[in-house]
Amino acid sequence: MKIISKKNCSYLALLVLIFIKVFCFFFDIHISILNLVLFGSLFFVFMLLFPKSFHNRNYQRSLTKTVLILVISYYILYYLLGLIIGFSYNFYDTSLVGIIYNTFIFILPLLLREKVREKFVRIYKNKKAYIFITIIFICYEVFSSSFFSFEDNEQLLSNLFSIVMPCILENILLTYLASISEVKTIYAYFIPSLVSKYFVPVLPDLDWFYRLLLQIILYICIYSFVSNEYLLKVLRRSPRVEKGQNIFYFLSLSVVILLGLFVAGFFKYQPVAILTYSMDPVFTRGDAVVIKKTDALEKKSLQKDDIIQYKRKDTMVIHRIIDIVDDDGERGYILKGDNNDSKDPFIVYDNQIVGKVTLIIPKVGYPSVWLSEFLHSNGEAEVEIGR
């Protein structure tokens, strides 16, 4: 009965934590030290309920070292990437006063949170407990973020993938690390991340897509290496089996990376979903085409009847070249959609051209079409969109 009572108290303490956070969110209560007070109180409650310390696991140092090497390597590559794409100033104050403030207001509560996670997971070694504490901390983090501050569907989607998705993946990883190791291993992942976020004055200027992609790569690498080491040293699995699993992990990771970079337009070729009927029957709404990006020399070799993608203000258009003209000494293109009654009402120049259509893939673009319609209301188009 005593154990059940402690168990109920620990679950209740976590529920009270999320209740207070949600209450403050809905009533717009902002207290800078709230996180420190709540997680400090939660840590104190868990120390009273479960004062007994755990014995160090003999493989702990190896797991901690593995995670630390992976995370440090990740951030070295992360900042080297900034040398290529550029840096932006950190949102947080990174002066000496700011670092002290960030340490007590942001970092210390998270370190206390991870100690609570470790105690909870180590005491209740079952999937229900793992899922429960992961959901609690995910909800707490989401209600602490700017996720609900969006003005349109596009910003909602951006918040979903830049705030909620990393939060979910990170908390799943942290709970997994707590289940097989100790808080030192969690800190080996967490502290470099917090230092980068709250102490470094500049950060690589990446948009949410590339940040999410890099984080997924890091999480997969940590899970792969740590689980492999855990299985070998603790569960005594066959190295041959684990080698096969590692090959599968890395192949899967490579596919995810290449696919993400391909969709994002990192390579010479990029897929584009077709939203209208203007080029029917060559390709139509819901199809996808692969665009070969053209450099200055390749643009000079474009000919009549080539199908190209060009940018007009904030709109991308894919139409066929029907004529090439000389406009005051500058090469210009007259375009028209095959299914349109009239040509496009303006001349297109080399600096507007993105690339040339090289491949058509029927029907695979519908998910992007539906997503685009969800994010953007249909405005008045400057060119015909087909019959």
Q: What's 299's domain CATH number?
A: 2.10.109.10
Q: For residue 364, which phi and psi values (nearest 5 degrees)?
A: -80, -5
C-alpha 307/C-alpha 278 separation (Å) is: 12
C-alpha 317/C-alpha 278 separation (Å) is: 10
Amino acid at 13: A
H or E segment to which residue 212 belongs:
helix 208-233
25 with 137, same domain?
yes
116 with 232, same domain?
yes
Amino acid at 163: I
What is the end-to-end Cα distance of the chain in Å, rounded? 74
12 with 140, same domain?
yes
Domain-ending residue, one of 240, 263, 286: 263
109 with 212, same domain?
yes
By C-alpha distance, which of 149, 178, 151, 176 is closest to 164?
149
Q: What is the largest CA-CA distance in the chain?
A: 90
Q: Are strands 353-361 and 288-293 parallel, antiparallel or unpaired?
A: antiparallel
Q: What's residue 234's pLDDT?
A: 65
Domain-ending residue, one of 213, 246, 263: 263
The residue written with tokens 């700011």 in the block is: 98
66 with 169, same domain?
yes
Domain-ending residue, one of 229, 263, 297: 263
- The reply to whether 386 falls in a domain is no
C-alpha 39/C-alpha 113 separation (Å) is: 6
291 with 252, same domain?
no
DSSP single-letter state for residue 107: I
- The reply to whether 384 falls in a domain is no
Bridge partner list, 80: none
**Residue 152 burial (10 A CB sphere; 0-12, 13-18, 19+):** exposed
Q: What's residue 217's pLDDT?
A: 86
Q: What's residue 151's pLDDT?
A: 80
98 with 73, same domain?
yes
Dihedral, CA of residue 235, residue 237, residue 242 and residue 243, to nearest 10: 140
Tens-digit pLDDT string for the chain (387 aa): 444 567 888 999 999 999 999 999 999 888 989 999 999 999 999 999 888 766 666 678 888 999 999 999 999 999 998 888 889 999 899 999 999 999 999 999 999 999 999 999 988 888 999 999 999 999 999 999 988 888 877 678 778 888 999 999 999 999 999 998 889 999 999 899 999 999 999 999 887 778 888 888 899 889 888 888 777 766 555 555 555 555 666 666 667 677 777 776 778 889 998 988 999 999 999 999 999 999 989 999 999 999 999 998 878 899 999 999 998 889 999 999 999 999 999 899 999 999 999 999 888 888 878 877 776 655 555 665 655
Q: Are 282 and 360 in contact (CB under 8 A)?
A: yes
Range of the domain at 345: 269-375
222 with 293, same domain?
no
277 with 222, same domain?
no
- The reply to whether 139 falls in a domain is yes
Q: What's residue 2's pLDDT?
A: 45
310 with 346, same domain?
yes
Q: For residue 304, which phi and psi values (nearest 5 degrees)?
A: -60, 140
154 with 274, same domain?
no
DSSP single-letter state for residue 352: G
C-alpha 50/C-alpha 54 separation (Å) is: 10
- The reply to whether 207 falls in a domain is yes
Orientation angle between helical segments 208-233 and 60-85, nearest 10 degrees: 160
C-alpha 100/C-alpha 111 separation (Å) is: 15
C-alpha 286/C-alpha 288 separation (Å) is: 7
Q: What's residue 11's pLDDT?
A: 92
Amino acid at 319: H
Name the token pair of 327: 């406009």
Bridge partner list, 324: 333
Q: Are 360 and 289 in contact (CB under 8 A)?
A: yes
The residue written with tokens 């293109």 in the block is: 333
- The reply to whether 380 falls in a domain is no
Q: What's residue 335's pLDDT?
A: 95
Query: Into how many domains does the chain fold?
Result: 2
Name the token pair of 231: 């299985």
Q: What's residue 383's pLDDT?
A: 66
101-129 in b/e form (b: 16+ CB < 10 A) is ebeebbbbbbbbbbbbbbbbbbbbeeeeb
The residue written with tokens 């709230």 in the block is: 34
